[in-house]
Structure 1
Amino acid sequence: MSARLARRDHLAAWLFLIPVIIVMLLVAVWPLARTFFFSFTDAYLDDPSIYSMVGIDNFLDVINDRSWWVAVRNTIVFTVISVAIETVLGLAIALLINEAIPGRGLVRAAILVPWAIPVVVSAKIWEWMLNDQFGVLNKILIGLGFIDHGIAWTASSSLIMGVIIFADVWMTTPFMVLLILAGLQLISPEIFEAAEVDGIPAWKRFWSITLPMLRPAIGVAVLFRVLDALRMFDLAYVMAASNENVMTVSIYARDRLISFQELGVGSAASTWVFLLVALAAIIIIGALRLDRASGELTK
């Protein structure tokens, strides 16, 4: 009887999984496989049916292109700086709103507003705010006497990367706050109460209790943000188009595919992007597993 029930449960599980598997095949596996196939061809976007196989020539074309390595450098710089700032700010804000402060519920709701706004809308808002002629930021700085004329923030090659990072931090720090706050609320308050009774100072409680117990939540948050930042496209493209100073690997792939109509080379660039993101995911997940294993050993 139990074996029959187990078979029925197994069959029911597969019946529920089949629609999910079909959707995944249609929206993820098939496009990825098609992109991988075209990366070995000399196809053009105007007529993808006409092509011939060229082996790995497209992959070599991408990695021999100076613009590709500029895009890789920009992507890594953007990812490292933005994720680091967002993690620190996210942790600080999560610790603050986790406390019993007046209006905590309102603060939690308000802090999610930047994250809820579509990226394209946020990018245009910041572009207008930073305009050198009518931007509100320049008017405030001029009014305070810090500058005597408007600064073209998004047109300056030395400032544009900082502007993109600032806008990204404003938009996605709430995401980090949300995940870290969820991890904070899983920690039993009794642990902190016992430490406080024992006279352990606040900084030591944070360093020895809060931070170690938050590492899994912070690790997951960093994983999601790194993967998202590595494939960042819309924010930089809306604010700076194909400006080489902020060109990311995704923008590079888009330019080869759309602007130059090179379906084969664009697909090869997209495959390199996929491999870059996959490598980052493997490294971070491996580090999280190693940290978990070392934590279990110390116990």
Structure 2
Amino acid sequence: MSATLDRPVSAVDPSGGRGNDKSRAERKLGWYLAGPAFVVMLLVTAYPIVQAVFDSLFDYRLTDPQNSSFVGLGNYGVILTDSVWWTSFGVTTFITVVTVAVELVLGFGLALVMLNALKALRPVLRTVILIPYAVITVVSAFAWQFAFSVDSGFVNSWFSFLGATPETDWFGTQGLSLFVICLAEIWKTTPFISLLLLAGLAQVPDVLQEAAKVDGASWWQRLRRVTLPNMKAAIMVAVLFRTLDAFRVFDSVFVMTAGANNTETVSFLAYRQTIERVEIGLGSAVSVLLFLSVVLISALFIKGFKVDLSQARGE
């Protein structure tokens, strides 16, 4: 067998580096086109972030605004030494890891199906797959809560062969509650992952696939040595976007369990501190910690994947 299969195969720029001027021009045009929207988004988001950081430095209750006092980093100390924060952080991490991992596998499978489907069926297939993603998250959460409810749900009869009874309370324990929450998240957002991965699959050069077939590579070898290395950028974007979204999960938890049975996430903890207990200082501190967690996750993903986006575009 040829040595071609002994290492990942990536597309090579035939221009020999002569596309640098074109690349710089495209980046410059990109900044011109995206710049105004970037400035508007920065102005819209900068104030809430700065205000949250400012409020997190005060012992401030909305019911008693006159007695607010500066505590510096005291609110962060209270949160980070409280087991409630670490429980919420652990639940959030668990939901994120499970949902993203399952969605990545299922999304890749759906992307392969859409890529290899007949041309006449591709538009219909993509539309059908996108239906769950088009449903509003709150509506989806209510539907899943109804399906798994002890009183009105129909899932218990479906899972009777697994030992489920009509009295099985899917929201009565932490494990079952997290199972339903993860299931609802996977159902809704897998189409998003599949579309991003489909775009990555479309960028894999057919000539490399054919060369690997000629060398006698199996389907698994072509997947591991040709397909995945050449869609690394798409995988990074899909995993990064979905991880950031999953780490901020709120709607499903709010609708299904309201944080009961230790299913409270970091976003729900911020909501409970700010809205229910009107502890503006502590709630803002939780929000800032959530924001910092998301920034850290983004930095780790970008550094860990080590994707050269210019190479991924074929420059």
Question: TM-score with structure 1 length normalisation?
Answer: 0.86
Q: Does 1:77 align with 2:94?
A: yes
Distance 1:208 1:19 in 2: 39
The one-character-per-residue Cα deviations of 1:115-150 (angstroms, maximum 9, x if unpaired) are 1101000000000011122212123334x6853434
Shift of 1:52: 2.2
Q: Does 1:179 align with 2:202?
A: no
SS of the equivalent of 1:69 reads: helix
Distance 2:139 2:155 in 1: 18
Shift of 1:292: 4.2
- Letter of the 2:278 counterpart: Q
Indicate the residue corresponding to 1:208 in structure 2: 225
Indicate the residue corresponding to 1:257 in structure 2: 274
Indicate the residue corresponding to 1:7 in structure 2: none
- Letter of the 1:236 counterpart: V
SS of the equivalent of 1:134 reads: coil
Distance 2:34 2:183 in 1: 43
Indicate the residue corresponding to 2:12 in structure 1: none
Unaligned runs of 5+ in 1: 1-9
Q: Does 1:131 align with 2:149?
A: yes
Indicate the residue corresponding to 2:265 in structure 1: 248
Q: Does 1:118 align with 2:139?
A: no
The alignment covers a number of residue pairs equal to 281
Determine if contact 2:172/2:261 at 8 Å carries over to the other structure.
no
Distance 2:142 2:274 in 1: 24
Distance 1:15 1:286 in 2: 26
Q: Does 1:223 align with 2:240?
A: yes
Change (3 A) 1:147 1:235: closer
Q: Percent identity?
A: 37
Indicate the residue corresponding to 1:279 in structure 2: 296
Shift of 1:18: 5.3
Determine if contact 2:157/2:164 at 8 Å carries over to the other structure.
no
Indicate the residue corresponding to 1:29 in structure 2: 46
Distance 1:136 1:18 in 2: 50
Q: How does 1:187-206 map to 2 (within 5 A)?
A: 187-206=204-223
Distance 1:71 1:63 in 2: 11
Distance 2:90 2:294 in 1: 14
SS of the equivalent of 1:158 reads: helix
Shift of 1:19: 6.9
- Letter of the 1:83 counterpart: V
Determine if contact 1:160/1:245 at 8 Å carries over to the other structure.
no
Unaligned runs of 5+ in 2: 1-27
The one-character-per-residue Cα deviations of 1:73-124 (angstroms, maximum 9, x if unpaired) are 1011111111111111111111122103472321111011111101000000
SS of the equivalent of 1:159 reads: helix
Change (3 A) 1:97 1:70: same
Shift of 1:261: 0.8
Q: For 1:52, which of 66, 69, 91 is the aligned residue?
A: 69
SS of the equivalent of 1:112 reads: helix
Distance 1:90 1:145 in 2: 27
Indicate the residue corresponding to 2:15 in structure 1: none
The one-character-per-residue Cα deviations of 1:235-273 (angstroms, maximum 9, x if unpaired) are 111111022521111111111111111001111111111
Question: TM-score with structure 2 length normalisation?
Answer: 0.82
**RMSD over aligned Cα, in angstroms?**
2.5
The one-character-per-residue Cα deviations of 1:162-184 (angstroms, maximum 9, x if unpaired) are 11111111111111101000011
